[in-house]
């Protein structure tokens, strides 16, 4: 069952980021379904969060997607190479977003291998946000698409994750955000091999 629109329209981006662990992310690109369950996320708390693209109410052609109603995809290019997929949350005008950093693949693994050019499956196939987007065929072409669409969606399949399995730590690669870089806004499943940077 697709997560309802109301799931995304709530105000607490950190809580939603944590709740996304264990939910299933799917794409259907060119008729091919690929997906898996989310094992690592990062919350970006809008205009007050120095690590967020929208910090200080920054509104640009790239960030405008973040200001739309929650429940859509925000896909951007990082370092001119990697497409990055984020879930936009909250209400219109409040630019909250959650970066999907890793999934454990469950569907369409052969397609993911082709997209990632990986003859042998290793955890790196969907470890790290660039890898997730590439494996699932997510690109800026579908930026701002609804998560209620049949192209990109997230499902609840009843996976229950006990609190002790969830690790909350600072985000990756946001040292420029000064004190906000220390906020425990990255969540991942303890011991999961697909997590991009487990804290040893």
pLDDT in tens, 191-200: 999 999 887 5
The residue-averaged pLDDT of 66-79 equals 95
Using alpha carbons, select from 51, 11, 33, 61 the residue that is nearest to residue 170. Answer: 51
The token pair at 8 is 């995304």
Using alpha carbons, select from 99, 103, 102, 125 the residue that is nearest to residue 114. Answer: 125
Instruction: Report whether pLDDT(88) > 90.
Output: yes
The token pair at 56 is 């200080």
Q: What is the mean pLDDT of the chain?
A: 96
Task: Name the strand (E) or helix (H) holding 190.
Answer: none
Strands, E assignment, the chain: 24-29, 32-45, 72-78, 82-89, 96-107, 152-155, 166-169, 186-189
Compute and round to an integer the Cα radius of gyration of the chain: 15
Instruction: Report whether pLDDT(133) > 90.
Output: yes
Q: What is the pLDDT of residue 79?
A: 81
The residue-averaged pLDDT of 152-162 equals 97
**Beta-bridge mates of residue 166:** 189
**pTM of the entire structure?**
0.97
The token pair at 140 is 């800026």
Q: What is the pLDDT of residue 122?
A: 96
The CATH number fitting domain 5-189, selected from 3.30.70.1560, 3.10.300.10, 3.40.50.300, 3.40.50.360 = 3.10.300.10
Domain boundaries, the chain: 5-189
Please give the share of the chain, as a percent, with pLDDT higher than 70. Answer: 100
The residue-averaged pLDDT of 96-103 equals 98
CA distances for 7 relative to 4, 69, 97, angstroms: 6, 12, 13
Instruction: Report whether pLDDT(187) > 90.
Output: yes
Instruction: Report whether pLDDT(161) > 70.
Output: yes
């Amino acid at each position: 069952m697709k997560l309802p629109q109301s799931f995304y329209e709530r105000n607490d981006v950190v809580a939603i980021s944590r709740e996304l662990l264990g939910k299933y992310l799917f794409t259907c690109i060119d008729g091919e379904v690929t997906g898996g369950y989310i094992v690592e996320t990062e919350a970006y708390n809008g205009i007050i969060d120095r690590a967020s693209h929208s910090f200080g109410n920054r509104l640009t052609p790239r960030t405008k997607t973040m200001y739309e109603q929650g429940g859509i995809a925000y896909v951007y290019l990082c370092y001119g190479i990697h497409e990055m997929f984020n879930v936009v949350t909250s209400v219109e005008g409040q630019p909250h977003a959650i970066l999907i950093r890793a999934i454990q693949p469950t569907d369409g693994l052969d397609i993911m291998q082709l997209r990632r050019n990986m003859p042998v499956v290793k955890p790196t196939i969907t470890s790290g946000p660039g890898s997730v987007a590439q494996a699932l065929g997510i690109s800026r072409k579908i930026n701002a698409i609804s998560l209620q669409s049949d192209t990109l969606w997230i499902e609840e399949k009843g996976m229950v994750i006990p609190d002790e399995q969830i690790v909350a730590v600072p985000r990756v690669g946001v040292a420029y955000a000064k004190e906000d870089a220390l906020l425990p806004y990255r969540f991942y499943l303890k011991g999961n091999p697909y997590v991009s940077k487990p804290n040893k």
